[in-house]
């Protein structure tokens, strides 16, 4: 793509803003891209042409950020350098900002590969300017219907936007994703043979009851979670046989172990949705020629980031922070919480309804909070926070959680105090915020964690141990 005078003005304006933000001590993941795009709307495509080793796109409803970060760790283990919107700024402005950060003032790219997380609704705009070499599609679930519209619309937009020459990495166990591979030459599937929690019958909400091709009801012989599982339709559409297949899946508090022949792998993440994220990253790595040894090392060295099953060590004990944003993801987090059977449970659930969260919170009624009601003896306390704290408390009351175990505290800092109030002994403590509460909560936890380390250090010094 020809570089015009507008390209140079846009480049320098974006990089200039990035420099100013750095001087002010701010990250500025989207503002440089926003300013640059106002000067040259085609800048993203112009910058992308420099990535001659290929651009990897990661999209889907759940798991984009974790999948991208897992793949980034594998790429690093293989010695590769690449542009990356690591902070999860996955709209056009954030993607352009990430490319700007890896471009010098003279317009030359510092690296030849890019790994880009792309919001589902942004895929059409992204692919108008950029042709990804590899596209990972994780899954499709209802999410922020007030923003995305009906799920069928989102799926069609993504499917039609991805260029035919792009190599697809698809979740075979999700029929909504697997359909992308029909009549596509470059497709590689991943999937799961069985998990310890897989079952032959499910009452869980799922998005794909019907065949995406003929409309008949899909027949499942095994459910993993949501609509993910082993399925088939009388018309002939069925789950593809995935070359990358997780077997011998085992889960514990220290993470998940599994085997993809001929190699065994482990991740320090919990929840079977994270098994799928690891498989997606692994499959993409295999597609671009990375060996099993580097994949194994990259996965084992991965540390959870940015509120995705992220652990903080506070004076009260270990606290896990993880984002919740739709029914299926929330259900999987709850199953992970309840799987820790040796300790009582304390939860802080923060629900906002700002634009980035989705204005419509009716999705809370599709979450299986009844599983908490059935385990009321293990529940010590649930604190409801955020702008819609009262709505969350009402939902939990109807789910069977006793009212005396529910606490309302709109301000997150006060909610954290309430969460640990009266705590004696060990407990499983999870904090589950929606998007606009995630990073403020993370900052509060990080500050308290630092203070706890400082306190411990002072105590060691006073005892003459330091």
Q: Please state the residue numbers annotated as binding site for Zn(2+).
A: 211, 214, 233, 235
Tokens at residue 116, please? 């880009």
Going by C-beta distance under 8 Å and a sequence separation of 6 or more, which residues neighbour residue 394? Answer: none
Q: Alpha carbon of 412 to those of 386, 437, 450: distances in Å?
A: 7, 8, 18
Which parts of 371-423 are beta strand (E)? 379-385, 406-408
How far is 218 from 238, CA to CA, in rounded Å?
9
Chain centre to alpha carbon of residue 440: 18
Q: Alpha carbon of 25 to those of 22, 85, 96, 103, 259: distances in Å?
A: 5, 19, 20, 21, 44
Count the Cβ atoms, other than its own, within 10 Å of residue 328.
28
Whether 360 is a known active-site residue: answer: yes
What are the helix (H) ranges across 399-434? 412-420
Among 299, 298, 319, 300, smallest CA distance to 310 is for 319
Name the residue with tokens 């400082």: 454
For residue 387, count CB atoms less than 10 angstroms from its CB and return exposed for 0-12, middle for 13-18, buried for 19 or more: middle
**Which letter, b or e, does each residue of 338-347 get, where b requires 16 or more Cβ atoms within 10 Å of its Cβ?**
bebeeebbbb
3-state helix, strand, coil in the chain (%, to 5): 40, 20, 40
How far is 109 from 112, CA to CA, in rounded Å?
7
How far is 63 from 120, CA to CA, in rounded Å?
12
Going by C-beta distance under 8 Å and a sequence separation of 6 or more, which residues neighbour residue 379? Answer: 344, 345, 347, 372, 401, 402, 405
DSSP string, 196-250: TT-BS---S--S-SB-TTT-PBPEEEEEEETTEEEEE-TTS-B----SEEEEEEE
Q: For residues 48 and 114, is the Cβ–Cβ distance under 8 A?
A: yes
The HSE-up count of residue 37 (CA atoms within 13 Å, CB side) is 19
Structural element, H or E, at residue 46: helix 43-48
Annotated binding-site residue numbers: 211, 214, 233, 235
Name the residue with tokens 């900052």: 443
Catalytic residue among 197, 360, 366, 391: 360
State the sign of the Cα–Cα–Cα–Cα dihedral 161, 165, 170, 175: positive
- The catalytic residue positions are 360
């Amino acid at each position: 793509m020809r570089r015009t005078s507008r390209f140079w003005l846009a480049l320098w304006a974006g990089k200039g803003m990035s420099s100013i933000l750095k001087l002010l001590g701010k990250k500025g993941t989207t503002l440089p891209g926003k300013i640059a795009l106002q000067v040259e709307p085609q800048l993203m495509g112009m910058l992308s042409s420099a990535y001659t080793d290929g651009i990897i796109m990661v999209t889907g409803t759940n798991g984009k950020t974790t999948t991208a970060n897992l793949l980034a760790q594998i790429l690093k283990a293989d010695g590769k350098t690449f542009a990356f919107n690591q902070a999860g700024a996955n709209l056009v402005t954030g993607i352009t900002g990430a490319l700007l950060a890896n471009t010098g003032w003279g317009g030359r790219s510092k690296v030849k590969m890019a790994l880009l997380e792309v919001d589902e609704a942004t895929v059409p705009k992204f692919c108008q300017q950029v042709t990804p070499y590899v596209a990972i599609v994780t899954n499709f679930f209802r999410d922020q219907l007030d923003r995305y519209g009906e799920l069928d619309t989102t799926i069609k937009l993504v499917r039609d936007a991805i260029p035919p020459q792009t190599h697809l990495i698809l979740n075979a166990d999700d029929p909504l994703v697997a359909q992308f591979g029909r009549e596509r030459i470059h497709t590689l599937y991943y999937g799961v043979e069985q998990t310890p929690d897989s079952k032959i019958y499910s009452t869980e909400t799922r998005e794909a009851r019907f065949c995406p091709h003929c409309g008949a009801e899909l027949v499942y012989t095994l459910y993993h979670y949501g609509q993910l599982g082993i399925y088939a339709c009388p018309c002939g559409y069925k789950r593809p046989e995935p070359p990358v297949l997780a077997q011998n899946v085992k889960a514990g508090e220290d993470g998940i172990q599994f085997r993809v022949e001929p190699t065994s792998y482990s991740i320090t993440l919990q929840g079977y949705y994270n098994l799928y994220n690891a498989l997606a990253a692994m499959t993409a790595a295999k597609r671009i020629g990375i060996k099993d040894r580097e994949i194994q090392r990259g996965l084992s060295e991965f540390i959870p980031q940015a509120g995705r099953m992220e652990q903080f060590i506070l004076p009260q004990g270990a606290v896990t922070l993880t984002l919740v944003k739709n029914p299926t993801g929330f259900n999987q987090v709850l199953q992970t919480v309840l799987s820790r059977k040796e300790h009582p449970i304390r939860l802080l659930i923060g629900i906002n309804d700002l634009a980035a969260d989705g204005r419509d919170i009716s999705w809370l009624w599709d979450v299986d909070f009844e599983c908490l009601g059935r385990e009321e003896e293990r529940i010590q306390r649930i604190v409801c926070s955020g702008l819609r704290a009262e709505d969350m408390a009402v939902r939990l009351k109807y789910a069977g959680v006793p009212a005396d175990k529910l606490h309302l505290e709109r301000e997150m800092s006060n909610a954290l105090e309430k969460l640990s109030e009266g705590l004696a002994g060990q407990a499983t403590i999870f904090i589950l915020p929606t998007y606009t509460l995630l990073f403020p909560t993370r900052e509060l936890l990080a500050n308290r964690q630092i203070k706890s380390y400082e306190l411990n250090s002072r105590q060691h010094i006073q005892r003459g141990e330091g």
